[in-house]
Amino acid sequence: MRRFSFTDPGFEAAFAAFIDERRETPEEVDAAVRDVLAAVRAEGMEALLRFARQFDKVEIDESNIRVSAEEIEEGAAQCPAQVREAIAFAAARIGAYHARQRPADQAFTDEAGVELGWRWTALEAVGIYVPGGRAAYPSTVLMNAVPARVAGVERIAMVTPPGRLQPAVLAAAKEAGVTEIWRVGGAQAVAALAYGAGPIKPVDKIVGPGNAYVTAAKRRVYGTVGIDALAGPSEIVVVADGANRADWIAADLLSQAEHDPAAQSILITDDDAFAAAVEAQVQEQLATLTTGEDAAASWRDHGAVVIAPLDEAPRLVDLIAPEHVEFAMENPERLSDRVRHAGAIFLGRVTPEAIGDYVAGSNHVLPTSRAARFSSGLSLYDFIKRTSIVKCDAASFAVLGPHTVALAESEGLPAHARSAAIRLGQ
């Protein structure tokens, strides 16, 4: 864990170097991913089954690579009632939140008499990658599948590494409207969704987080299919004054540190004594976490405490452009309204980031690695597309046609010019 003080002469340079440190897996994985993608594209199901044996150490075949409807029902029924209730609660809130994002179609006639507009339509098929390594994540299923279902996507294909499917994951898939589940993970799963493999038909877009191999595969198949984003390690910034409980803030910092040794947790406060209390609480809580090994590595290697005036916090947050930022204070909007770059903002002392991961309704699939400077979190817009509509009559074409001819001729495109000129009788 690094400590920075705003009053130090070298603060700006040291802080900039810290946030520029690389936390992703090196690019060496790209060569392996390239070979996997090529094999699946050429060999289809045969390659998928081979990679399952090689990477996942399991034997599967075409008869059981798809999770049957009976398995989904039986698995979901094994999920504890309290967890099923929470899944239904979260799904309803996520659905309601994303339904409000639906844009309206538009149609209008402009001053030239041209009928213009646009309409929105859902994607036909979406693939969702659900990790199966460090933990089972029913929330990942909900955050990816529910907005797709609300958008009107007809086919939602879920892939997850082979092995025992957790009941909570199956319950979430059932609740969210997933239409098919396949026991395949890694780069080969991304390839199957992009190119098709045996009974796994290609999709139009792939969403969902994964490890470095999954991310590299998504990068390579982009263009053949759409993707949501290139996910990096989790990150949180907590801006807190000294009136907070140190144990609350420590828990918030560790909520992201426990995801991955490469995750990043940063505290910004103007109170040195409070910062020391939070640091002590972090160490105390680490000893109690079953995820303590990963969280400790994250805090040790990528954590930071920044002592700075709180009025400086919005500028520092924008430099970090974090996945999540909390403003734990009275009247948090005074500072948060000045933030431009953040995936999600949590306001007040009793709004921990963890509720955004599960039940707030907003999406927890958010930009990482400073991508909040230019991108947003997953939303309904990821599952719909806009089509432009144009209609001229003879009178309005007479207004637009001559300018079309002039511009086409200026670009040296005579066929473009002729397609307009011929209708003008030229």
| Residues carrying an active site annotation | 323-324
Alpha carbon 31 to chain centroid distance? Answer: 24
Dihedral angle computed from the Cα positions of residues 199, 202, 207 and 208, in that order, rounded to the nearest 10 degrees: 20
Cα–Cα distance list, 81 to 170, 177, 194, 298, 357 (Å): 13, 19, 36, 34, 20
**In whole angstroms, what is the distance from residue 217 CA to residue 210 CA?**
10
**In whole angstroms, what is the distance from residue 109 CA to residue 393 CA?**
11
Find where tokens 């409000």 sit.
100
**In whole angstroms, what is the distance from residue 108 CA to residue 88 CA?**
41
- H helices of 196-271, in order, are 212-221, 246-257
Cα–Cα distance list, 392 to 55, 110, 194, 218, 414 (Å): 58, 11, 38, 41, 22
Find where tokens 């309290």 sit.
82
Decide: 206 and 190 in contact? Cβ < 8 Å: yes
Residue type, 320: I
Q: What are phi and psi of 295, to 5 degrees?
A: -65, -40
Among 149, 191, 134, 79, smallest CA distance to 383 is for 149
* Residue 296 burial class via C-beta count within 10 angstroms: exposed 0-12, middle 13-18, buried 19 and up: buried
Question: Structure tokens of 377?
Answer: 């979190």
Q: What are phi and psi of 366, to 5 degrees?
A: -130, 160
What is the DSSP pairing of strand 125-129 with strand 205-207? parallel
Decide: 19 and 268 in contact? Cβ < 8 Å: no
For the beta carbon of residue 120, count every other beta carbon within 10 angstroms. Answer: 17
> Could you say which DSSP state residue 347 is in?
E
N-terminal to C-terminal alpha carbon distance within the chain: 74
